[in-house]
Chains A and B, each alone.
Chain A
């Protein structure tokens, strides 16, 4: 019974690999026409590097634990920065 319930619940979860590909592309691709033409999204990569450099001054973080993402919400671009800090703070 539980597995049947799981099966139906899982249906809408975005666990598809295409979804991951799309998220990765949004970061690496620079050619965005229209409103953003002056500010290509490649700066996301540079920004991620600089953010890591700043954070690394205070806490030890892994490159993989800093996620910078750009998403569209209606007509707005939403910048999402996700930093996972280590569990025990460094001295």
Chain B
């Protein structure tokens, strides 16, 4: 049974595309045939993060409008044979997406793939609604920041009212919270919302915590999803999240500061943080 997973957030810039690239790559590494679709028509970026921008010939809008078939538009990942990218159009706008067209594309992909990852654009308009409509599961990407948490809450409301599962009265979408750009040091000094409070506010199960990390920018610079970087904290955190998505029990990491400080060190840091 193939699973459609939407990566969404409401707010822009929280890490949806980074997460889409990382999760789809991880699923492919675990042996699942995976396709990741960019729904951000007009502002496509998934191709850059996946490092395949020079191989884009046709896109999802071409497929929907019958200008190319699905096989022509799908781009196979350089590293992983079972990972494909379906890019968005750069020149059209979101209105080029039609409900019937997307339904046809998703149904065709379900025949072939274990996982269909939908990278949602920011906002709650056409593109975001199209990305979430067919979802069986949703990963809500949230930054430990007040506006991001509110937007995530809003998106949860829309998932439970406007998705196909909601409209057709089926079992609700399985929701997962992914907290990104987390900085345990700032949480300790009280500058940042802690992950327990975010879970409490949004009331959905936690899939993972991705620490704020230099490796994310490095990964997008290189066009190599961060999951491939086993040396980096963010890469490790994404790997843990993917295992949890596949139903494994993995303890949370990167939630607390990992450096053990002495008493005087703690005192000193405390004082400094107040200034």
A interface, CB within 8 angstroms of B = 7, 10-11, 14-19, 21-22, 24-26, 28-34
Q: Would you give the shortest CB distance from A12 to chain B, in whole angstroms?
A: 11
Taking the closest CB of chain A, its distance from the CB of B142, in whole angstroms, is 11
**Docked CA distance A26–B249 (Å):** 30
Residues of the B chain whose Cβ atoms lie less than 8 Å from the Cβ of A28: 150
Q: Contact check: which of B191, B204, B271, B274 meets A17 at CB < 8 Å?
A: B191
Are B203 and A31 touching (Cβ within 8 A)?
Answer: yes
Contacting residues, chain B, for A30 (C-beta < 8 A): 153, 157
Contact of A18 among B194, B203, B274 (CB under 8 A): B194
Q: Name the distance in Å between A35's Cβ and chain B's nearest Cβ.
A: 11
Complex Cα spacing A11 to B150, Å: 30
Verify if B187 is at the interface (C-beta below 8 Å from A): yes
Query: Of residues A17, A28, A29, A33, which shows the largest number of chain B Cβ atoms within 10 Å of its Cβ?
Result: A29
Interchain CB contact under 8 A, B190 and A17: yes
A29 contacts B271, CB within 8 Å? no
Can you list 8 contacts pairing A with B, beta carbon distance less than 8 Å?
A7-B271, A14-B190, A16-B190, A18-B187, A18-B193, A21-B146, A26-B201, A31-B203
Alpha-carbon distance between A5 and B193 when the two chains are bound, in angstroms: 28
